[in-house]
Amino acid sequence: MKGGVSGFTKIAVIVVAFLMVIYQMVSSQVLLLSSVPYLNLHLLFSLVVVFLAQARDGRSTAFRLWMAFVVVMAILALGYIQLNWQEIQERAYFNTAVDLAAGIIAILLVLEATRLATGWFLSAMAIGAVIYGFVGARLPAPFTIQSMGFEQTMTNLSVGLDTGIYAFLPISANFLFLFILFGGVLSGTGADKFFLTLGKIVMSKIRGGAAMMAVLASCGIGMITGSAAANAAVVGTVTIPLMKRFGFKPEEAGGIEAAASNGGQIMPPIMGMSAFAMAGLTGIPYVTIAKMAILPALIYFGVIGLYVYLVAGKHRLPMAAKEPIDGKELALSSINFVVPILLIVVMMVHGFSVNYIGFWAIVTTVGISLIRKKTRPTFTQFVNGFVSGTVQAAGIGVTTAAVGIILATLTMSGLSVKLVLGIETWSLGSLFLALVLVQIITVAMGCAGASITAYIIVTIFAVPALQKMGVPFDVGHFFAMFISVFAFLTPPVALVSLITAKIAEAPYMKTAKESCKAALAGFFVPYIFVYCPVLLLKPKEPVFAVVAVVASLLCLVSFQFSFVGFLFSDLNLRERGLFFAAAVVSLVSLVERSFPLAVVGAAVFVASIIWHRARIMPKGARLEPSQ
């Protein structure tokens, strides 16, 4: 009986997933429905896919019955809204009992689906926001807010049809779904194998090659999927055991893979969900956001590579043996992935919509993968790619709906205005302290398990506050987007580190610590590009721009020397302190826009290298040749 139920739910997931795929892909080319029913049907599909996927993976009969019940309720509640949306809009704030019942059920279903997709944190935040909306008027200052009646609140959260659970659905439906699906389809056609093979070329050519392979493969796969968790799960099962075999500690192997996988969210052309959310929220063309990310992403992966090189040197790890690779086959198989990526870039440059581009990227990927028999995916791989991409995208759909509940409470109550003023007050008017505050809040929001959640919530009140302090609109949003991505790596809830720690069989907190060290640039680069917009390809003062770029690189390199404790040989405490001082001075020179401080930072950096070399040479130490 259990086998029959399991088989039925698997088929149901596949059928509904493909129906959602067809709906979204056709909608990207043809206007099937107006905005409200289009988004409502997107939410209905997302809820049903999440519930059915959970039923498929569930073990107990009771849980599967519960999933069946919520699927039926989703169809009834959102089906009612789908059939009566015009009348519901016309009687807004004077809705019938049936309208409100459908809206309340929709809210509860979104909360349950979000709990299943991302855990309790975001659902608890949304529930807390709703309760706060009712009791806030009775709280003492500064927590006092304007409260509204039950009916008005429920209308704003649901059957208003353009606020609450519907407010951010356009981001999911128009910007995220098809590109998340594209990542699933591309993985189903063997993209992970291609980039892992490409990474093997690096293994035998540089010290720490096994970890360099992880960095390169994760960068490549992350560049086409934009998913940190999926990247870590796919690549980590290959690279982490390999790193451990070549001498990296388990927590180091897990940390390096976590940092590299997370970087895929900032690597153009296909960045993470937060970048697409930024395009949807701000109206800034996605191609502009991708251009802004080029230098920060290259710096980020460069600093991870430096960390790997230094750790390998510290452990005196040997280079890996050269593996035979069929260059001709690698070149031929690259067509499957290079062509869709080039298509995406060209279409973005020509200004096509994200949804339109996603459609043709998927069609191109499927078409090319079928040409050669050797790279042609099996029917099962093909189906799994579409289903896994749809399930992931559906999870993001319900998450954006839940975020809408929180944001509706913030805006209705006036709390968002208080938070803007609060950031200005708590930072004492200092832009640097304001940036630190925003990062701390974003890390807390990142405990919800999705960077898009942290970005959308924080940007509502953080970006206006930063704008008041002189940060341009696009730079403020890019700062919020960038730091939200790295909430994935920051304890106490570091989802990517948790995944890689399990694969590496290493302690979670030690792995999270190593991932933060490897991902050092991800935490400092956002501050740097606020003060040095040239990193976003927005140069203002050419002379200082050059100085700022040099100071930025010296800052990040010096921090890595200091934290790892290795250069040509092991660094002693004094040398690590000198490199740390060089990093701090270089960072301050950017904040204060001071050319003299930049010179001092560079001088301390050079002096530290000379000091270190002078210390090890008299003892007969020989500098290790660069590999």
Q: What is the dihedral of CA 446, 74, 275, 509, to 10 degrees?
A: 20
* Nearest by Cα to 562 from 575, 549, 576: 576
SS3 category, 566:
strand
Residue 617, Cα to own-chain centre: how many angstroms? 45
Give the tokens for residue 306: 């430096």
Cβ-based neighbour number of residue 419 at 10 Å: 18
Prior bond of 142 cis (ω within 30°): yes
Please tell me whether the peptide bond between 269 and the residue prior to it is cis, using omega within 30 degrees of 0.
yes
pTM of the model: 0.78
Q: Residue type for 520, please?
A: L
Looking at residue 570, the DSSP 8-state letter turns out to be B
**pLDDT in the model for residue 623:** 46
What is the tens place of the pLDDT at every residue in 63-117?
A: 999 999 999 999 999 999 999 988 888 887 777 889 889 999 999 999 999 888 8
Which residues make beta-bridge pairs with 89? Answer: none
Residue with tokens 């970006």: 463
Alpha-carbon distance of 243 to 7, in angstroms, equals: 38
Find out whether 490 and 522 touch, Cβ atoms under 8 Å: no
Which residue intervals of 283-369 are DSSP H helices? 286-314, 327-349, 354-369
CB burial class (10 A; 0-12, 13-18, 19+) of residue 283? exposed
Stretches in the chain below the pLDDT threshold 70: 1-6, 141-143, 145, 147, 190-193, 195-196, 198-200, 202-205, 208, 222-227, 230, 234, 319-327, 329, 413-417, 446-450, 492-493, 618-627
**Alpha-carbon span 524 to 557, nearest angstrom:** 12
CB-based contact 291:302 (threshold 8 Å): no
Q: What is the pLDDT of residue 553?
A: 92
CA angle 550, 552, 554 (to 5 degrees): 70
Domain ranges of the chain: 184-350, 539-627
Cβ contact 171:280 at 8 Å: yes
pLDDT confidence of residue 449: 55
Residue with tokens 């019938």: 96
* Residues found in the chain: 627
Question: d(Cα 586, Cα 69) in Å, to the nearest integer?
Answer: 59
476: CB partners within 8 A, 6+ apart: 462, 463, 466, 467
Q: Give the per-residue pLDDT at 128.
A: 85
Q: Specify whether the CB–CB gap between 481 and 455 falls below 8 A.
A: yes
Here the tokens at position 398 are 């319900």
Backbone angles phi, psi at 566, to 5 degrees: -150, 140
Which stretch of DSSP H or E encloses residue 248? none
In what helix (H) or strand (E) does residue 416 lie, and over which residues does it extend?
A: helix 415-426
Q: What is the pLDDT of residues 282-304, one digit of tens each?
A: 888 888 898 899 999 999 999 99
- What SS3 class is residue 426? helix
CA–CA gap between residue 44 and residue 61 (Å, rounded): 24
The predicted structure's pLDDT at residue 383: 86
Sequence-distant (≥ 6) Cβ neighbours of residue 548 within 8 angstroms = 528, 531, 532, 534, 590, 598
What is the reported pLDDT for 2? Answer: 54
Backbone angles phi, psi at 204, to 5 degrees: -90, 5
